[in-house]
Structure 1
Amino acid sequence: MKKFVAIVGSNSKSSTNRKLLQYMQNHFKKEAQIELIEIKDLPIFKKSKEKTVPERAKEMAKKVEKADGVIIGTPEYDHSVPAVLLSALAWLSYGQHPFVDKPVMITGASYGSLGSSRAQAQLRQVLDSPEIKARIMPSSEFLLAHSLQAFDDNGNLNDKEAAKQLDGLFQDFLKFVEISGKLNNATAANKQKAADFNWEDNK
C-alpha cells in the first residue's frame, strides 16, 4: 500500500481544504495511507547566514522524503496561494530538498465558484522552481467550489459528480506514482542541482 502525506495549505482551524484532505484520507484508506501534515506551527520563512531551519520543518521534510507521494490542498486568497503555504514550501526547500522528483497531486477548495483555480496554477509554478522541482501530476485539477456547502455531516462530499471525478484523479495519481518510481535515474543529480542552486549567484 502506498504511503502519502497530505499538506493542509492553510492555518485556519475550520479550513475546508483540511476537510477535503480528511475526506480523501478516509475515502481512499483501502488504497493508500494518507497522513495529514499541518503547517500552522511553522514560523514565517526567514533566511539566515547559518541557514537555520526550524525542527518542525525538518520533521516535515523527512515525512515528505519518505512518502511515496504528496497531496497538497491549497485555498485561494486574492487569486493566489496563501502566504502561509508559500512560507512552508520555502522552509521545505531551504537547505533541504525533499520534493525533488517527488510525485505531487494538487487539490483545492474555496468558498466561491472558482475552486482555487488560480492558486493551483500558481502553485504548479512554485513546485517547479529550481529548489523544489517536484514532479506534478499533469492535467489533474480538482477544484471544489462552494466548499462551505460541499460536505455532509459525516464529512462526505455532497456532489456525487465531484466525488466521482476525485475518485478518477486519485486512481490516476496512484498510477502516476508508480510510473514516477521508475523515472529515478537522474534524481541524485537533480537533488544536487537543487542543493547547489542560488538565486543570488544566478546571472
Structure 2
Amino acid sequence: MLNLLGIVGTNSDHSTNRRLLQFIQKHFADQANIEIFEIKDLPAFNKPKDRKGPVEVQQLADKIIAADGVIISTPEYNHSVPAILKSTLEWLSYTTQPLIDKPVMITGASYGKLGSSRAQSHLRQILDAPELKARIMPSSEFLVGYSLQAFDENGHLNDNNKIEELEGIFHDFTQFVEITNQLVSKNHSYKKVQRFSWEDN
C-alpha cells in the first residue's frame, strides 16, 4: 500500500482544504496510508546563511522523503497560493530539496465557483522550479468550488459526481506514483546529481 503525505496549504484554522484532505484520507484508506501535515506553525522563510531550516521544516522534509507521493491542497488567495505555502516551499527549496523527483498531486477548494484553479496553475509553476522540480501529475485538476457548502456535517463531499471525479483522479495518481518512482529509481540520469543553487551559477 502506498504511503502518501497530504499537505494542508494554508494556516487557516477552519480551512475547507483541510476538510478535503481529511475526506481523501478516509475515502481512500483502503488504497493508501495518508498522513496529513499542517504547515500553519512553520516560521516565515528567512534565507539562513547555513541553509539549515528550523526543526519543523526538517520534519516536513523527512516526511516528504519517506512518502511515496505528496498531495497538496491549496486555497486561492488573490489569484495565487497562500503566503504560508509559498514560504514553506521556499524553505524546502533552499534547504534539503526533498521534493525533487517526488510525485505530487494538486487539489484545492475555495469559496468561489472556480475552486482554486488559478492558485493550482501558479503552484504547478512553482513546483517546476529547479530547486523544487517535483514530478507533478499531468492533465489533472481537482477543484472544489463553493467549498463552504461542499461538505456535510461529517466532512463528506455532498456531490456524488465530484466524488466520482476524485476517484478517477486518485486512481490515476496511484499509477503515476508507481510509474514515476520506478523511473526515478531505475534511471539514475533522472535523479539529482547535486543540489541546484542559483548562487553557484
Give the 5 Å matches for 1:120-199: 120-184=120-184, 185-186=186-187, 190-193=191-194, 195=195, 197-199=196-198
1:178–1:146: structure 2 CA closer, same or farther, 3 Å change rule? same
Q: What value does the CA root-mean-square deviation take over the aligned residues?
A: 1.3
| Worse overlay, 141-150 or 84-93 | 84-93
Please report how far the alpha carbon of residue 19 of structure 1 lies from its aligned counterpart in structure 2 after TM superposition. 0.2
Give the 5 Å matches for 1:1-203: 1-184=1-184, 185-186=186-187, 190-193=191-194, 195=195, 197-202=196-201
Q: Which residue type is aligned with residue 15 of structure 1?
A: S
Please report how far the alpha carbon of residue 98 of structure 1 lies from its aligned counterpart in structure 2 after TM superposition. 1.0
Contact 1:10 1:74 in 2 (8 A): yes
SS of residue in 2 equivalent to 1:47: coil
TM-score (norm 1): 0.95
**Distance (whole Å) between structure 1 residues aligned to residue 175 and residue 121 of structure 2:** 22
SS of residue in 2 equivalent to 1:111: coil
**Distance (whole Å) between structure 2 residues aligned to residue 29 and residue 188 of structure 1:** 34
Please report how far the alpha carbon of residue 187 of structure 1 lies from its aligned counterpart in structure 2 after TM superposition. 5.3
| Worse overlay, 113-122 or 179-188 | 179-188
SS of residue in 2 equivalent to 1:163: helix
The count of corresponding residues between Structure 1 and Structure 2 is 200
Q: Which runs of 5+ in 1 are unaligned?
A: none
SS of residue in 1 equivalent to 2:70: strand
Q: Which runs of 5+ in 2 are unaligned?
A: none
Please report how far the alpha carbon of residue 189 of structure 1 lies from its aligned counterpart in structure 2 after TM superposition. 6.3
Q: Which residue type is aligned with residue 125 of structure 1?
A: Q
Please report how far the alpha carbon of residue 153 of structure 1 lies from its aligned counterpart in structure 2 after TM superposition. 1.1
SS of residue in 2 equivalent to 1:170: helix
Please report how far the alpha carbon of residue 190 of structure 1 lies from its aligned counterpart in structure 2 after TM superposition. 3.7
**Distance (whole Å) between structure 2 residues aligned to residue 7 and residue 192 of structure 1:** 27
Q: Which residue type is aligned with residue 179 of structure 1?
A: I
Please report how far the alpha carbon of residue 74 of structure 1 lies from its aligned counterpart in structure 2 after TM superposition. 0.5
Please report how far the alpha carbon of residue 192 of structure 1 lies from its aligned counterpart in structure 2 after TM superposition. 3.0
Instruction: State percent identity of aligned pairs.
Output: 59
**Distance (whole Å) between structure 2 residues aligned to residue 131 and residue 70 of structure 1:** 17
**Distance (whole Å) between structure 2 residues aligned to residue 97 and residue 188 of structure 1:** 17
SS of residue in 1 equivalent to 2:23: helix
TM-score (norm 2): 0.95
